[in-house]
Amino acid sequence: MPLTEDLGSFFTDFGVNCTSGEVTGKGILDMPGEVIANGMVLSTDYTVTAKFSDFGSLLRGDSITVDSVAYTVREVRPISDGKLVEIAIQKT
């Protein structure tokens, strides 16, 4: 089912500033997930959900700043009907 909500209002209410190159928009930063083995953190995974029209063209290895913190893009996945994108990121 296509999204019919006003995404601009949603991201204005709940989003943080995101910038990659010349593109600036809002995104929702999700709590990190940690991969733990033998009691040690091996990696911490972050995701940010944003409008596909803003950040859908990002590629693995691109840089993005989310809420004033620098990250590197690990993966970009379109969500639902293509209006949103989930970006897996890692702190740089």
Assigned domain for 31 exists:
yes
Looking at residue 35, its pLDDT comes to 73
Count of domains for the chain = 1
Query: pLDDT tens digit string along 48-80?
Result: 999 999 999 999 999 999 999 999 999 999 987
Closest to 45 (Cα-Cα) out of 23, 75, 68, 15: 75
Q: Note the pTM of the prediction, 2 decimals.
A: 0.82
Assigned domain for 37 exists:
yes
Query: pLDDT tens digit string along 9-45?
Result: 778 888 999 999 999 999 999 977 777 778 877 777 8
* 86: DSSP letter: E
pLDDT at 4 > cutoff 80: no
Looking at residue 1, its pLDDT comes to 47
CATH number of domain containing 30: 2.40.10
Assigned domain for 2 exists:
no
Assigned domain for 1 exists:
no
Looking at residue 59, its pLDDT comes to 97
Domain that holds residue 11: 7-91
Please say whether the dihedral angle defined by the alpha carbons of residues 58, 66, 8 and 3, taken in this order, is positive or negative. positive
